Amino acid sequence: MSGSGTAASGTGQTVAEAEAALENLARTGAEPPWRLAQRREALAAFTALPMPDPLRDEDWRRTRLDGLELHSRPVQALGVFAIEGLAEPARQAGAVACRLGEALTAQPELVRRHLGSALAPGAGKFVALAQALAQDGAFVWVPDGVELQAPLVVRDGIEGPEAGFGAFRHTVVVLGAQARAHLVVVQRSPADRRPGLVCSAVEVVLGPGAQLRYTQVQDLGPGVVRLECRRALVGRDAELAWTDCELGARLARAEVETVLGEPGGTVTTGGLSFGHRRQHLDVLQRVLHVARHTTSDLAHRIALRDRARSVFRGIVIMQKGCAGASSQQHAASVLLSPEARSDAIPSLFIDEDDVRAGHGATSGPVDERVLFYLMSRGIPRPLAERLVLEGFFAPVLARLANTPVYDELQHRIDQKIGA
C-alpha cells in the first residue's frame, strides 16, 4: 500500500469523528453560529483537499506522512492550556490574552473580526484540520500603542489516552499600531511513546510599527506527529521575530509564512532543531517580500544525534515592486553521528532588480580543534562536547533571555545532550 493511501485511510476516520464532534459542539450551544459555520467550512476544505504528495509537492518531498495514522479517537485530548503574564496595566489599557474559547464568550465581536484574518478557513489541508477541530488556542489582542512589558507564556500541556490522542489548536495574535508583545508557547506531552497528533493553526497580524516576538518550544512526546501552520501579515515598519525550538515529537513539521506586504516590514527567525534517535524535524520558512524596503533574516541552528534528520527550507519570494528589499538566510548544522542527516535548502525567487539576497549553510561534525583545546585544559571529552553544543545554541537561547522558560529550555537541551 502506498504511503499516501495509509494516511488517507487515517483521515477518513478523522472526518467521521470530526463531523460527530462538530454536531456535539453545535448541540451544546457553546459557540456562536458564525464560528460553527467557519469550522464546517474548514472541515469541508480538509475533506476536499488532497493529502500532500511527496512526488508532486516540492514542499513535502523530504517529509513523508506515510506513517500518519489518526487513531480511533483522533479528536480527543486532555491536559492543561493556560496563558499567563498579562499585567494589570496592559489589561486596563484593553489588551486581551486568554484562551480562544474564553475570548469567544467574553468578546465575541473582537474575535469575529480577527479570526481568519491571516489564515482563511481551509487555507491548507492541515490548517483546515486545526481550524475545524480546535479544542483550544490562545487569543492575544494588543491595542494601538500598548506595550506588554513581560512576556506572555502559553503552557500547552497536552495529555491524552495512552491509545492515542489528537490535539488541535487555533491561535490568533493581533497587535495594533506601535504595540509590542512577546508570546512564548511551550508545547509538551507525556514523554512515553503514546501516539498522538498535534495540529495547530496560528494567525498573526501586526499593525504599523508593531513589534512581536513569537517564541515556541516544541517538546512533545516521542510518539507524536506535530503539524503546525503559521501565517503572519506584517504591517508598515513592523517587526516580527520567530524563534522556534524544535526538540520533541517523532515527526515535527512547522510551516511558517510571513507576508511583508507593507513598506519597511521586517522578519527575523533564529531557531533551533535538536533531534535524536529517529526524530524527523522539518521547518519551512516562507517569506513574501511584497512591499519596498522589507527585510528578512532567516537563521536556524541544527544539531542531530543518532539517526535524526532535519530539514530546513528557507523560501524567499521577492515580488516585482519590492525595491530596496533585502534577505539573508543561514543554516548551521552540527552532526553528532555519521547516520544523522541535515538538509538545509534555500530557495530564492526574485522578480525585482533592486534587491539584495544571500544565503549560506554550514554542516559538519563538532570541530575537533575546539574539542582538543577544551580537553587540553583538563575537560573530559563528553563535557567538552556539551560545552561546544551549548555554545552553538547560545544565540538561540539569548532570544529567550528574561523569559520564564529560559532555564527550562537550557535544562532540556542539556538533558538531550546527555541522553
Q: Which is nearer to other proteins, 8 or 388 (CB)?
A: 388
Binding site for other proteins (CB under 8 A): 367-370, 372-381, 383-384, 387-388, 390-395
Q: Which is nearer to other proteins, 139 or 393 (CB)?
A: 393
CA triple 71-116-98, angle to 5 deg? 80
Q: Which is nearer to other proteins, 88 or 368 (CB)?
A: 368
Least distance between other proteins and beta carbon 358 (Å): 21
Q: Which is nearer to other proteins, 144 or 390 (CB)?
A: 390
Least distance between other proteins and beta carbon 377 (Å): 4
Least distance between other proteins and beta carbon 401 (Å): 13
b/e per residue 67-104 (b: at least 16 CB within 10 A): ebbbbebbbbbebebebebbeeebeebebbbbbbbebb
* Three state DSSP letters for the chain: CCHHHHHHHHHHHHHHHHHHHHHHHHHHCCCCHHHHHHHHHHHHHHHHCCCCCCCCCHHHCCCCCCCCCCCCCCCCCEEEEEEECCCHHHHHCCCEEEEHHHHHHHCHHHHHHHCCCCCCCCCCHHHHHHHHHCCECEEEEECCCCECCCCEEEEEEEECCCCCEEEEEEEEEEECCCCEEEEEEEEECCCCCCCEEEEEEEEEEECCCCEEEEEEEEECCCCEEEEEEEEEEECCCCEEEEEEEECCCCEEEEEEEEEECCCCCEEEEEEEEEECCCCEEEEEEEEEECCCCCEEEEEEEEEECCCCEEEEEEEEEECCCCCCCEEEEEEEEEECCCCCEEEEEEEEEECCCCCEEEEEEEEECCCHHHHHHHHCCCCCHHHHHHHHHHHHHHHHHHCCCCCCCHHHHHHHHHHHHHC
Least distance between other proteins and beta carbon 271 (Å): 15
CA triple 27-28-34, angle to 5 deg? 75
Least distance between other proteins and beta carbon 397 (Å): 9
387: left (phi over 0), alpha (psi -120 to 50) or beta: alpha
Least distance between other proteins and beta carbon 385 (Å): 12
Q: Which is nearer to other proteins, 316 or 332 (CB)?
A: 332
Least distance between other proteins and beta carbon 33 (Å): 53
Q: Which is nearer to other proteins, 113 or 381 (CB)?
A: 381
Least distance between other proteins and beta carbon 380 (Å): 5
Q: Which is nearer to other proteins, 27 or 377 (CB)?
A: 377
Least distance between other proteins and beta carbon 369 (Å): 5
Q: Which is nearer to other proteins, 34 or 372 (CB)?
A: 372
Least distance between other proteins and beta carbon 310 (Å): 19
Q: Which is nearer to other proteins, 349 or 372 (CB)?
A: 372
**Measured distance between the N- and C-terminal CA atoms of the chain, rounded to whole angstroms:** 35
Q: Which is nearer to other proteins, 58 or 367 (CB)?
A: 367
